[in-house]
């Protein structure tokens, strides 16, 4: 199997039209590159479920705020391409001019979900994500698309958008892939200093603490969050942006934890912002 690289929307469309005419289902994994095992787990699952697998790499300027890391976001195309060589059929790498022409004006917003949790400190971020994913879905027209649980607000928001706008695509949300010491895999982990990388393992321990607290019979969200805060204090450099517990259907804050409730958090180590989450009813 040789990896086909499509650099234009037209080339990608020709590729998927041909695959479809052979009766193949299309699985799609949108990424911003700097691939790691978390991305590869999505690609492998897409491979299992579909005869044709498309991965996109596009660092989407619309989802970065003016003070954020768009310029320094890791771009490792040659390495990514090698990692994907035997894993997918087609790699789509459009450039920003193709995706957003000079007259571009149209955005997609999932009202009420774009400015909560991570959206509170990242105005415009989820509007940028929804817009690019809607556009990618229109280009690739996948049967199934794959997202990681680590970015749970993003994954749920994309599922909401797809249902609301009747995209004929199934959104699959797959488990977070972790380093052996528990840190959730993320392209941004590369920014961490040695000291911060070591301290960041406190996040997964704090999530374990939350699950344990619920298992012991505590369902009061404030109690669970209090335990998580306490655990995070063990890392002197951790600065909590938010910790909360939400309902996965409404994204509303919950006061009493249910089996499906999700604890989510954002923590900074220096300039690096890390996010993670866990379903509280799961062990």
Catalytic residue among 39, 125, 149, 196: 39
Q: Using the rule CB under 6 A, is 276 a contact of ligand PAF?
A: no
CA distance 255 to 246: 9
* Shorter beta-carbon distance to ligand PAF: residue 154 or 261: 154
**Among 34, 132, 145, 202, which residue sits at the site for ligand PAF (rule: CB under 6 A)?**
132
Residue 159 Cβ vs ligand PAF, minimum distance, rounded to whole Å? 12
Residue 147 Cβ vs ligand PAF, minimum distance, rounded to whole Å? 7
Residue 220 Cβ vs ligand PAF, minimum distance, rounded to whole Å? 32
Please, what is the Cα angle at 47 between 45 and 53, to 5 degrees?
Answer: 120
Question: What are the helix (H) ranges across the chain?
Answer: 9-21, 37-49, 77-84, 96-99, 118-121, 125-140, 152-164, 194-199, 202-215, 221-232
* Shorter beta-carbon distance to ligand PAF: residue 35 or 262: 35
Count residues near ligand PAF (CB under 6 A): 10
Q: Which of residues 25-64 bind ligand PAF (CB under 6 A)?
A: 30-32, 60, 63
Q: Listing from the earlier edge strand, what are the strands of the sheet with 52-57?
A: 4-6, 90-92, 52-57, 26-31, 144-148, 170-174
Residue 194 Cβ vs ligand PAF, minimum distance, rounded to whole Å? 25
* Shorter beta-carbon distance to ligand PAF: residue 30 or 142: 30
Non-local CB neighbours of 83 within 8 Å, separated by 6+ positions: 35, 40
Backbone angles phi, psi at 137, to 5 degrees: -60, -40
Q: Using the rule CB under 6 A, is 133 a contact of ligand PAF?
A: yes
Establish whether 39 is a catalytic residue: yes
* Shorter beta-carbon distance to ligand PAF: residue 32 or 228: 32
**Tokens encoding 84:** 């994907």
**Among 143, 151, 209, 276, which residue sits at the site for ligand PAF (rule: CB under 6 A)?**
151
SS3 201: coil
Nearest to 132 by CA among 167, 166, 96: 96
Backbone angles phi, psi at 53, to 5 degrees: -120, 125
Q: Count of CB atoms within 10 A of residue 255's CB? A: 10
Q: 59-88 mask for ligand PAF (x: CB under 6 A)?
A: -x--x-------------------------
Q: Using the rule CB under 6 A, is 129 a contact of ligand PAF?
A: yes
Find out whether 108 and 131 touch, Cβ atoms under 8 Å: yes
CA distance 210 to 254: 14
* Shorter beta-carbon distance to ligand PAF: residue 136 or 202: 136
Q: Using the rule CB under 6 A, is 173 a contact of ligand PAF?
A: no
Which stretch, 93-101, 126-134, 203-211, 234-242, contacts ligand PAF (CB under 6 A)?
A: 126-134
Number of H helices, E strands in the chain: 10, 9
| Furthest CA-CA distance within the chain | 57
Q: Which of residues 152-171 bind ligand PAF (CB under 6 A)?
A: 154
Residues binding ligand PAF (CB under 6 A):
30-32, 60, 63, 129, 132-133, 151, 154
Cite the active site residues. 39
């Amino acid at each position: 199997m040789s990896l086909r690289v499509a650099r234009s929307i037209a080339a990608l469309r020709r590729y998927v039209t041909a695959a479809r005419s052979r009766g193949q289902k299309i699985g799609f994994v949108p990424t911003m590159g700097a691939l790691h095992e978390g991305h590869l787990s999505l690609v492998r699952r897409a491979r299992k479920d579909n005869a044709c697998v498309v991965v996109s790499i596009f660092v989407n300027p619309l989802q970065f705020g003016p003070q954020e890391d768009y310029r320094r976001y890791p771009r490792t195309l040659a390495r990514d391409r090698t990692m994907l060589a035997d894993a997918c059929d087609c790699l789509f790498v459009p450039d920003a001019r193709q995706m957003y022409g000079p007259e571009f004006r149209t955005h997609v917003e999932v009202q009420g979900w774009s400015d909560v949790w991570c959206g509170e400190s990242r105005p415009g971020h989820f509007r940028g994500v929804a817009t690019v994913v809607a556009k990618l879905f229109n280009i690739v027209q996948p049967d199934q698309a794959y997202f990681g649980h680590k970015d749970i607000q993003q994954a749920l928001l994309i599922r909401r958008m797809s249902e609301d706008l009747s995209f004929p695509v199934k959104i699959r949300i797959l488990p977070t892939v972790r380093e052996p010491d528990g840190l959730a895999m993320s392209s941004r982990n590369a920014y961490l200093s040695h000291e911060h990388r070591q301290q960041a393992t406190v996040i997964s321990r704090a999530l374990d603490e939350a699950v344990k607290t619920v298992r012991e019979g505590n369902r009061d969200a404030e109690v669970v969050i209090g335990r998580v805060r306490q655990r995070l204090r063990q890392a002197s450099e951790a600065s909590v942006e938010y910790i909360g517990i939400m309902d996965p259907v409404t994204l509303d804050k919950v006061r009493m934890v249910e089996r499906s409730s999700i604890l989510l958090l954002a923590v900074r180590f220096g300039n690096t912002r890390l996010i993670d989450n866990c379903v509280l009813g799961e062990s």
